[in-house]
Each structure stands twice: as C-alpha cells, then as structure tokens.
Amino acid sequence: MAVRVIEHTLRVDWKMRVTFTRDIFAASNDTLLRALADTGPRQALVVLDQGVVQSHPGLPARIEGYFAQAGPALRMAGAPRIVPGGESAKNSLKLIRQIHGWIHDHGLDRHSYVIAAGGGALLDAAGFAAATAHRGVRHVRLPTTTLAQADSGVGVKNGINLFGKKNFAGVFAPPHAVINDFDFLATLPPEEKRAGYVEAVKVACIRDRSFFENIERQVDSLASFQAESMHEIIMRCAALHLEHIVRGGDPFENGSARPLDFGHWAAHKLEQLSRFSISHGNAVALGMALDVEYSRQKGLLPAASARRILRLLKKLGFKLFHPLLRCQSPPAGSPLLQGLEEFREHLGGELTITLLREIGLGEEVHEMDTEAIASSVLELERLEQTPGS
C-alpha cells in the first residue's frame, strides 16, 4: 500500500507577560485580580513558601482579605497552604502529591488557578504539579527571590529533581501569569539577594555587552544590595530571558543548544555533589567562572575579557572556586566531569556547551577537553587565593 501522510503545522499563541509591582496584596492593587480576570466563577489554590511566610507573618491573612474583596466570582480553595521552600521542595514527589491532593479535594478544574508564591525551587515544583493535574491547571507565579524574579520564575520550565539528577522530571508549560513584587526581596538574606545577580551576569555575557557594562557600573550598589539597582538588573535580566524564549526559535528546547544554560553543566553537577548545600546561584557562579577560564585557555576568549568577568563575579561577592571542582588525575574519572554526560543526557542529542568568544557573544562547542577543564580549575583555585586578582 502506498504510504499516506496527513500533515499539519500546529501553532499555539501564548501571551507571556511578566508584571512588576509593589505590595501585591494591598486592597488598592488589582494586578493579580486583573491577571485572573475571566468569565464565570473561578477557584484559586494558593501555595506559599514557608520561608516567605516566616519573614512576612501577616501574608496568609492579607491574601484571604484580598480574595474576600474580589467577591464570589473568585473563591479561594481553602486557606493558603504553607509548605517548606528551598531545594527540598523539589527533591521528591511529596509536594507534587500534596498539591494534586488539594486540587482533587477542591474539585479544581482546568479553568482554576494554582497561585504559588516563593523561591525558584517551590515555583518549579508547584508549576509541575499544576501542569500535570488534569493535563494543565492554570498556574500563576509570584516569585519572591531575586533569582526567581530575574530568571527561573519568568520562563516555561517546571520540574523536580529525581534519582539525584537536577530537573529529571518536568514539563515545559508557560505560566498563566508572572507577577514580580519587589517588596518581597527586602526580607531575603544577603546570600539569596546576591544569587540572582549571577543569572544577570550570565545572560549579559552571552547576549548583551552593554548590560554587562551596566552591571559593572552598578557593582558597588549591587554588592551593598541597594534596591534601585537590584530592581533595574532584575527587570533587564527577566526581559532578556523572555526575549530568548519568545524570539530564540526554540522555546521548548527541541534542539541541542541551550545558551541560557551557560555555566550550568558544572553548576548542576556541583549542586548534586554537594547534596544541594551549594545553592543554585553560587553553583552557577562557579560553573560560569570555570567556563570563562576554559574559554580563555582554549584561545576563544581574550584574557582581558576573562579577567573582567571573573573580577565582576568576585566583586559581587561570589566565590570562584570550591573543592568539589577539583579534578583527580587522570581527570576523565572525576565526578565533576560526569556532569558533562548528564548535561547531554538531559538536553538530548549532541553535547552542546556554550562558551564565550567575547563579552556579549557566546560560542557553542560539542566537545570539552578534560585536561583543559582540570587546568582551568587549578587556575580558579589560584585566583581565589590571590587577593585583589
């Protein structure tokens, strides 16, 4: 029988909108209500990061008051659920089952909302739970860390870690809305305030030299966490991430390239090897420092540019070296280097690592030289121990 093919191109338009606001649950602030505006009665399940509630003890009551004024068209599915945040939120299926249970108990449907407020880890898990209940209950993200507002909360990826592997189980599912309330950031510990800067340096390095220079100019106010500089950097970083997702031609990462994961092959492995005691932000700073130094040693990136990037990371308060980076000799057997194969496996297809040719200009390679990785680590250790380098 002759082969017959039925073929169509499926196109789905999705509005990606990130709104920046202050005091999101003030009675006079209708940003969230407008994001939920729709016809017919709706239910919303609210999931809150315990770390946020500890710093904002009145938050659950304020949210209940906010919904009460919305009238019967928008009902809360019970009181806000407070769950532990941080990496442990996405290190097992526990939270996913809990959220599925709440969606089931309240009869939430695909026109209902799961509204999650918290750090990137909680948002990754809540987004995964929402996307997999009824094949997709609408999820609304309220990111509360610099990293989540600048990067993880604005994208299309959701997931959890399984089998000790970062983001092993997950889905690409765009959120219904993302609302960044800058007021949440004030209560972050310094370490968490800083964490988001690294994703800004990352996207500047691969995409936007003038943004890199802007971060350099503001380095002192960023290092001392001045709100105005932080907000400006977050907004530009979020805009660059969204532009890449929307205009980069591969929103669901079907190809092998993932430029926004510059520095992440080593970062994900360091998180795993440290049993997540190294945070994502610190791990990305280490991973980026490694790929910057490696780019220099392989003759891709001019030495002056490499020095400039490493100096900026240091001035922002990041470490350039951690003992877990050390490669044994021969380096091929080192646990860090298993991260290369795990990264390839996660992406699928050919190993593709983004390096740098210049500040603002990435370069993809498909092979990594393990000897050069080992000597880059040695150089980072030396730099970390050299004051003023």
- Told to check if 144 binds ligand NAD by CB under 6 A, we report yes
Task: Give the Cα separation of 164 and 67 in Å (integer).
Answer: 39
Structure tokens at 221: 């106010």
Q: Which is nearer to ligand NAD, 187 or 221 (CB)?
A: 187
The answer to whether the beta carbons of residues 110 and 40 sit under 8 Å apart is no
| DSSP state, residue 188 | S
Out of 18, 47, 122, 230, the residue judged to bind ligand NAD by CB under 6 A: 122
375 contacts: CB under 8 Å, gap ≥ 6: 297
Q: Which is nearer to ligand NAD, 90 or 139 (CB)?
A: 90
Q: Which is nearer to ligand NAD, 124 or 208 (CB)?
A: 124
Structure tokens at 153: 């909360």
Size of the site for ligand NAD (CB under 6 A): 29
Q: Which is nearer to ligand NAD, 165 or 357 (CB)?
A: 165
Out of 187, 214, 274, 338, the residue judged to bind ligand NAD by CB under 6 A: 187
CA 352, 346, 342 angle in degrees (round to 5)? 80
Site for ligand NAD in 192-251 (CB under 6 A): 192, 195
**Of 73-81, 83-91, 299-307, 310-318: span binding ligand NAD (CB under 6 A):** 83-91
Query: Comparing C-alpha atoms, which of 7, 21, 54, 389 is closest to residue 235?
Result: 21
Out of 36, 42, 87, 269, the residue judged to bind ligand NAD by CB under 6 A: 87
Task: Give the Cα separation of 265 and 352 in Å (integer).
Answer: 10
Smallest gap from residue 203 Cβ to ligand NAD (A): 11
Q: Which is nearer to ligand NAD, 94 or 157 (CB)?
A: 157
> Please, what's the largest Cα pairwise distance for the chain?
75
The answer to whether the beta carbons of residues 209 and 360 sit under 8 Å apart is yes
Task: Give the Cα separation of 192 and 117 in Å (integer).
Answer: 16
Binding mask 301-330 for ligand NAD (x = CB under 6 A): ------------------------------
Structure tokens at 57: 């003890």
The radius of gyration computed from the CA coordinates of the chain, to the nearest angstrom, equals: 22
Q: What number of other Cβ atoms are within 10 A of residue 92's Cβ?
A: 13
- Told to check if 151 binds ligand NAD by CB under 6 A, we report yes
Q: Which is nearer to ligand NAD, 75 or 157 (CB)?
A: 157
Judging by DSSP bridges, how do beta strands 74-76 and 42-49 pair with one another?
A: parallel
Task: Give the Cα separation of 76 and 241 in Å (integer).
Answer: 32
- Told to check if 184 binds ligand NAD by CB under 6 A, we report yes
Smallest gap from residue 95 Cβ to ligand NAD (A): 12
**Of 17-25, 142-150, 291-299, 367-375: span binding ligand NAD (CB under 6 A):** 142-150
The answer to whether the beta carbons of residues 352 and 364 sit under 8 Å apart is yes
**Of 39-47, 68-76, 184-192, 229-237: span binding ligand NAD (CB under 6 A):** 184-192
Out of 47, 83, 103, 147, the residue judged to bind ligand NAD by CB under 6 A: 147
Q: Which is nearer to ligand NAD, 82 or 301 (CB)?
A: 82
Smallest gap from residue 44 Cβ to ligand NAD (A): 20
The answer to whether the beta carbons of residues 113 and 77 sit under 8 Å apart is no
List of residues contacting ligand NAD (CB under 6 A): 49, 51-52, 55, 85-87, 90, 118-122, 124, 144-145, 147-148, 151-152, 155, 157, 184, 187-188, 192, 195, 280-281
